[in-house]
């Protein structure tokens, strides 16, 4: 399984992904409860956290360029998808679709 999310809004070949080592880095920087702290920061559009996550996760594109020319919702959605894919094996949209399907059954 690949944990890479395409990020064509940034550059044709850009992607965002978080390796296991990246997760360890995030835990070290954000401390206990790092996952919930990051989700809260994404929900609140905290610039320093968004910038740091782009620095860690973006490949094939410039994280500073993303911050200067893309809307924050696009950026946070890509970050969230990359984290969920790494941690739960599905993007946010896939998880939501699965939950909706389960609810309808």
* For residue 1, pLDDT beyond 80: no
Overall average pLDDT of the 40-58 stretch: 96
Query: Which band of pLDDT confidence, cut at 50, 70 and 90, is reported for residue 81?
Result: very high
Taking each helix axis from N to C end, the angle separating 47-57 and 20-30, rounded to the nearest 10 degrees, works out to: 150
For tokens 């409860």, the residue is 33
By residue count, the chain amounts to 105
Share of the chain above pLDDT 90, in %: 84
pLDDT tens by residue, 84-97: 999 999 998 888 88
What is the domain count for the chain?
Answer: 1
For tokens 């940034």, the residue is 10
**In angstroms, rounded to a whole number, what is the distance separating the alpha carbons of residues 42 and 9?**
18
* For residue 98, pLDDT beyond 80: yes
Helices (H) and strands (E) in the chain, counts: 6, 3
Query: Which band of pLDDT confidence, cut at 50, 70 and 90, is reported for residue 43?
Result: very high
Closest by CA position to 92, among listed 58, 44, 42: 42
* For residue 4, pLDDT beyond 80: yes
**In angstroms, rounded to a whole number, what is the distance separating the alpha carbons of residues 52 and 97?**
29
pLDDT tens by residue, 5-38: 999 999 999 999 999 999 999 999 999 999 999 9
**C-alpha dihedral over 95, 98, 99, 100, to 10 degrees?**
120
Q: Which domain holds residue 26?
A: 5-104
The mean predicted confidence, pLDDT, of the chain is 93
């Amino acid at each position: 399984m690949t944990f890479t999310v395409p990020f064509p809004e940034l550059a044709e070949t850009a992607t965002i992904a978080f390796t296991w080592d990246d997760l360890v880095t995030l835990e070290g920087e954000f401390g206990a409860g790092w996952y919930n702290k990051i989700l809260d920061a994404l929900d609140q559009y905290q610039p320093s956290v968004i910038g740091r996550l782009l620095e860690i996760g973006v490949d094939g594109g410039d994280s500073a360029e993303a911050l200067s020319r893309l809307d924050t919702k696009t950026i946070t959605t890509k970050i969230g998808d990359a984290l969920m894919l790494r941690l739960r094996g599905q993007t946010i949209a896939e998880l939501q679709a699965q939950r909706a399907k389960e609810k309808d059954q």
